Amino acid sequence: MTTRANRYDAVRMNREMLSSMSPPTWRWYLLAAVLGAVVAFGLYAFTVQVTTGMGVTGINRPVMWGIYIISFVFWVGLSHSGTMVSAILRLSKASWRRPILRGAEAMTVFSISVAGLFPLIHLGRNWIFYYLLPYPNQRGLWPNFRSPLLFDMVAINTYIIGSTIFLYIGLLPDLAVVRDCSSGWKKKIYAILAMGWRGSAEQWQVFSRGSTLLACLIIPVAVSVHSIVAWDFAVTLVPGWHSTIFAPYFVIGAITSGVAAVITLMIVIRKLFKLEEFLQPVHFDNMAKLLLAVCLLWSYFYFSEVFTTWYAHKPIEWEIFSFMSSRYGIMLLIMMLGNTIVPIIGLCFRQVRRSLPALLVITLLVNLAMFIERFLIVVPSLSHKNIPFIWGSYTPSWVELAIMVASFALFFLLYTLFAKFFPILAITDVREQEEVLLGSQQNGRTRLETLVKEE
């Protein structure tokens, strides 16, 4: 009886959880069209930049890096969401991660891919970007492996590949489900994508071992990626950048923005797929506590950095802080509110941690503040660099803003498309969780002890 009831439930669940893959509605088309249009406008802006020159941006001497690098750092930071949920929560066996697992992993892949575009957009001569690659050539020239930008390229590529594999491996059982539920040419495609997943015990064992292993491996990659991004800045002689704290500070910043993004995602997915029974207030409470912890850490790092600068009062470094607080005072205020004051005070209260509207506001604010934080790291230091005679400032041009907005649109577009063609909810994981309650799990013809034993 249990088996039949289970089977019935499984079928119902499959159908429910694949509902996102049902044929698109006009709303979906509208959304995709709007996002596509924004991306197209961004492409147009990029074309303008490529055909006329970097002069169409707000970049100048001394501020040679602008919105593109800021966006790059932001998106790399955001990409830590998937790693956080899938890896850390997986290793810590938090079972409520299951419904948001896929969404978060996809977020990682798309945000790191979007991040990877920015260094290329940023190049003065994008059309010869391949000079950065160690490809064999007649001139016998190699890229300069001492350059942090090359570390960057290697790290970003590793992360893209790693997180894609991570996402894909997790997708395998679900692709099999989709394969089983679809027909015609779709079935053929999903059959190829599912790579012959049959759900045998051996496959499950390999799968579970592989997932855990990948989860272990992806964490150091994630840490290294953001450390390397931090070193792009920290290894220079630029006052305000040259700081040993930058790598851990950037990692914490990335985790902050990742955690906040995951909470936002949880709220959205819960609403869209009506997962009230899976994502209960206690889960939000837990995530909010995590966010509180990383916000505290971030604030601690930020305080350490500003405090040491203020105490030492090295003229040029203090000059940068003074300039930042006068020219970009409002932004600094929003950053402090969004990263420190609001989340730390707000998340201390249980009611706030369990209130979804409040959490939505706080997490969006955190990510806005994180974007500003990157701006305030990149721009003021360059504006008031060592030579006072050529101090300057920076205001992004329409081209840069268009490309930045387009990057958000591209991210959402990729996400929307992904949700349409792939199961956005991790079916097997959720089912697994369902069946946890039953104490055992039916996998094909075998019956296994549940893999998860928590709660």
Report in angstroms how near the CB of residue 326 gets to another protein at its nearest: 10
- Which residue in the set 13, 21, 43, 150 belongs to the binding site for another protein (CB under 8 A)? 150
Give, as one character, the DSSP assignment of residue 339: I
Report in angstroms how near the CB of residue 359 gets to another protein at its nearest: 38
- Which residue in the set 236, 244, 440, 446 belongs to the binding site for another protein (CB under 8 A)? 236
- Nearest to residue 299, comparing CAs of 330, 267, 350, 342? 342
Separation CA 165–CA 346 (nearest Å): 37
User: Which of 122, 179 has the CB closer to another protein?
Assistant: 122
- 124: phi then psi, degrees, rounded to nearest 5: -65, -35
Report in angstroms how near the CB of residue 117 gets to another protein at its nearest: 15
Separation CA 360–CA 108 (nearest Å): 20
Report in angstroms how near the CB of residue 118 gets to another protein at its nearest: 12
List binders of another protein among 299-358 (CB under 8 A). Answer: 315-316, 319
Decide: is 122 part of the binding site for another protein (CB under 8 A).
yes
What per-residue string of b and e applies to 158-174 under the rule 16 or more CB within 10 Å gives b?
ebbebbeebbebbbbbb
User: Which of 4, 61 has the CB closer to another protein?
Assistant: 61
- Which residue in the set 2, 22, 34, 131 belongs to the binding site for another protein (CB under 8 A)? 131
Separation CA 416–CA 346 (nearest Å): 32
How many binding residues for another protein (CB under 8 A)? 49
Residue with tokens 């920076």: 394
List binders of another protein among 19-58 (CB under 8 A). Answer: 52-55, 58
User: Which of 123, 181 has the CB closer to another protein?
Assistant: 123
Separation CA 299–CA 327 (nearest Å): 22
List binders of another protein among 358-387 (CB under 8 A). Answer: 382, 384-387
- The type of residue at 90 is R
Cα-based angle 105, 110, 111 (whole degrees, multiple of 5): 95
Q: Residue 40 CB: number of other CB atoms within 10 A? A: 12
- Which residue in the set 36, 143, 248, 281 belongs to the binding site for another protein (CB under 8 A)? 143
User: Treating both helix axes as pointing N-terminal to C-terminal, what angle do 427-436 and 148-181 enclose, rounded to 10 degrees?
Assistant: 70
Stretch that binds another protein, among 83-91, 122-130, 265-273, 328-336 (CB under 8 A): 122-130
Stretch that binds another protein, among 60-68, 201-209, 218-226, 335-343 (CB under 8 A): 60-68
What per-residue string of b and e applies to 201-234 under the rule 16 or more CB within 10 Å gives b?
eebbeebeeebeebbeebbebbbbbbbbbbbbbb
Binding site for another protein (CB under 8 A): 52-55, 58-65, 119, 122-125, 128-129, 131-132, 141-144, 146-150, 153, 232, 235-238, 315-316, 319, 382, 384-392
